[in-house]
Amino acid sequence: MAQLFDLLLKRGTIVNQDGAAMRDLAISGGRIAALGNLSGASAGETIDCHGLHILPGVIDTQVHFREPGLTHKEDLETGSRSAVMGGVTAVFEMPNTDPLTTSAQAMADKVARGHHRMHCDFAFFIGGTRENTHELPVLERLPGCAGVKVFMGSSTGSLLVEDDEGVGNILKVIRRRASFHSEDEYRLNERKSLRIEGDPRSHPVWRDEIAALQCTQRLVRLARETGRRVHVLHITTAEEMDFLKDHKDVASVEATPHHLTLAAPECYERLGTRAQMNPPVRGASHRDSIWRGLDQGVVDVLGSDHAPHTVAEKAKSYPASPSGMTGVQTLVPIMLDHVNAGRLSLARLVDLTSAGAARLFGIACKGRIACGYDADLTIVDLKRRQTITNRWIASRAGWTPYDGVAVTGWPVGTFVRGARVMWEGELVAPGRGEAVRFLETM
Q: Which residues are catalytic?
A: 305
Is the distance from CB of 104 to CB of 138 less than 8 angstroms? yes
**Sheet strands (E) in 315-438:** 377-387, 406-416, 419-423, 426-427
How far apart (Å, rounded) are the C-alpha atoms in residues 258 and 335? 10
Nearest by Cα to 31 from 381, 421, 375, 430: 375
Residues 340, 382 contacting (CB under 8 angstroms): yes
Residues 6+ apart with CB under 8 A from 211: 153, 183, 184, 187, 188, 191, 279
Contacts by 1-4, CB closer than 8 A, 24 or more apart? 2/40, 2/41, 2/42, 3/34, 3/38, 3/40, 3/41, 3/42, 4/41, 4/42, 4/43
What is the rounded distance in angstroms from the CA atom of residue 105 to the CA atom of residue 118? 19
Pairing of strands 88-93, 426-427: unpaired
Omega cis (within 30) before 279: yes
CA proximity to 149, closest of 78, 96, 99, 201: 96
